[in-house]
Structure 1
Amino acid sequence: MNTIAIVDYGMGNLRSVSKAVEHVDSGANVTVTSDPAIIRTASRVIVPGQGAMPQCMRALSDHKLREVVLDAAENKPFLGICLGLQMLFEHSEEGNSDALGIFSGVVKKFISQSVNAGDQKLKIPHMGWNQVHQDMAHPLWENIPIDARFYFVHSYYVVTREPDIVAASTNYPTSFTCAIAKNNIFAVQFHPEKSQLAGLQLLSNFLKWTP
C-alpha cells in the first residue's frame, strides 16, 4: 500500500493537504504525523509549511523531526510545499535563519518597491494565482499544461546556486524559482492543495512517482 506521511511540526494547513492527497488516491494510507517512527516507515513523505523560517526550524528541532526530514529527503519520494521548499536551502533572510542546507542557495524577501510592466506597485506577500513556467521535464509535470496557473502565498523566495535543479519559475515581477527537483526530491513554492485541477494532478503524479 502507498503510505504517505504528512509531516506535522506545528506549522501549515495540514488538513487541506491531507484531504487533497486522499482525493487523488482514495486507497492511499495518509497520515498527518509528528512521530519520527511513522515518517521513517512511510513510502512517501510530504513536508508542507506556512509561517516564518525561524519558528519553522525551531519547531523541527522541538518535535525532534530535523533528522527524520533529512533522512526522508535523502531516501524516499519527498515533496516539499511552501516552507517545505525554502527549508531545503542554506539560509533565509527571514529572521536571519539557517535552514537544512540540502541545496546551495538562500531565501530572500521580495522587494516591496517592485513594480510590474504597468508601473503598478506589487503587493507583498505575493498572493493569488500565477503562471508556472516548467523549466525541466519531470514526471510530476505529467498532464499539467505549460504555464498552468497555481496558487501562491509567500513573501520570500529561493535563490539557488544550483541552476540544474530549477524545475519551474514564475514572474513577480521578475523571474524567481518556484519549484526544484533533484533525484527523489521535488519541492514547490506554490500550494498544490489550493491549486484546483493542476495542483491535484501534481499530487497524483507524486503518488505514482518512482524516482
Structure 2
Amino acid sequence: MAVLAVIDYGMGNLRSVANALLRVVPAGDRVVVTSSPEAVRAADRVVFPGQGAARDCMREIVGHGLVDAVLEAAANRPFIGICMGMQVLLENSEENGGIPLLGLYPGTVRYFGVSPRDPHGGERLKIPHMGWNELQQSRPHPLWQGIPDRARFYFVHSYYAAPADARLVTGTAGYGIDFCAALGRDNVFAIQCHPEKSDRAGLQLLHNFARWDGEPA
C-alpha cells in the first residue's frame, strides 16, 4: 500500500486535488492531505499544489517548516508540482520586483504583461490567462501516457515558468507567447495547469502519476 501526500501549506484548492486523486489511485493506496514535514518525508509520492502569489506561497512554505521536506521529496521520489507548485521550483519570480523561490531549477517566473496580444489577430488578451488551452507535449514522458498531444487543460495564472535549461520543458502552451506549461527531470514532473479541473486529460495525468515509479521516459 502506497501513501500519496498532498502538501497543505495553506494555499491551493486541496479538496479538488485530493478528490481527483481519490478517483484514480490504485485500490488500497492512501491519499493524505498534510502540513507535516514528517508525513511528507514518509510518503511514497508527493503532490505539491498551489495557487495565488509567489510571495505568499514562499512565506507559508517557510512558516510551515516545509522547505527541506519539499526539496528532499523532489530529490528522491515521484513528485508533481501543480500551478504555483510548479513555479516555485525555479529560482525567482518577477512578482513584486523579485521574489526568491526554492531554486530547485535555474530560471525565472515571468509576468505575461499588462495586455499581451494574440500573435495572429492582434487582439488584446486578458490577464490572468484563465480557461481551457491546448498543451503541446514537447517530449515523451510517462505522465503523458494515454493523453493525446494538444489535449486541452484548464489554466489560471498571470505568470509563467521560464526555466533556463530548455531540456526541462516537457510541454508548452500559447497565450500571446509560447510558454513552458510542463517541466520535468528524473523523478519530478510539474505542470502549470490544474489537472484536477481538466476533465479526462487531467484525471489521466493524475492516474499516471499515482502509478509512476519516478523513472523518466
User: TM-score by structure 2 length?
Assistant: 0.96
Q: How does 1:127-142 map to 2 (within 5 A)?
A: 127-142=130-145
Q: Secondary structure at the match of 1:88?
A: coil
Which range moved further: 111-120 or 1-10?
A: 111-120
Q: What stretches of structure 2 of length at least 5 have no aligned partner? A: none
Contact 2:21 2:31 in 1 (8 A): yes
SS at match of 1:67: helix
Question: Aligned with 2:156: secondary structure?
Answer: strand
Corresponding residue of 1:23: 23
Question: Match of 1:144?
Answer: 147
Aligned counterparts of 1:161 and 1:61: Cα–Cα separation in 2: 25
Match for 1:115: what amino acid?
A: R
Structure 1 residue 27: Cα displacement: 3.1
SS in 2 for 1:38: helix
Q: Which residue of 2 aligns with 1:89?
A: 90
After superposition, the CA RMSD in angstroms is 0.8
Deviation at 1:37, TM superposition (A): 1.1
CA distance in 2, matches of 1:109, 1:83: 13
Moved more, 21-30 or 90-99: 21-30
Aligned-residue offset at 1:63: 0.4
Deviation at 1:111, TM superposition (A): 1.6
Correspondences of 1:5-154 after superposition (within 5 Å): 5-25=5-25, 26-95=27-96, 96-116=98-118, 117-154=120-157
State the Cα deviation string for residues 137-166 of structure 1 (Å, max 9, x = none). Answer: 000000000100000000000111111110
Distance 1:69 1:115 in 2: 36
- Give how far 1:80 is off: 0.1
CA deviation digits over 1:9-41, x for unaligned, max 9?
000000000000001125320000001111111
Q: How many residues align?
A: 211
**1:113 Cα deviation from its structure 2 partner:** 2.6
CA distance in 2, matches of 1:199, 1:123: 24
- Name the SS for the 2:210 alignment partner: helix
* 1:104-137 deviation digits (Å, cap 9, x = unpaired): 1000110223211222110000000000000010
State the identity %: 50
Match of 2:162 among 159, 163, 172: 159
Shift >6 Å, 4+ stretches:
none
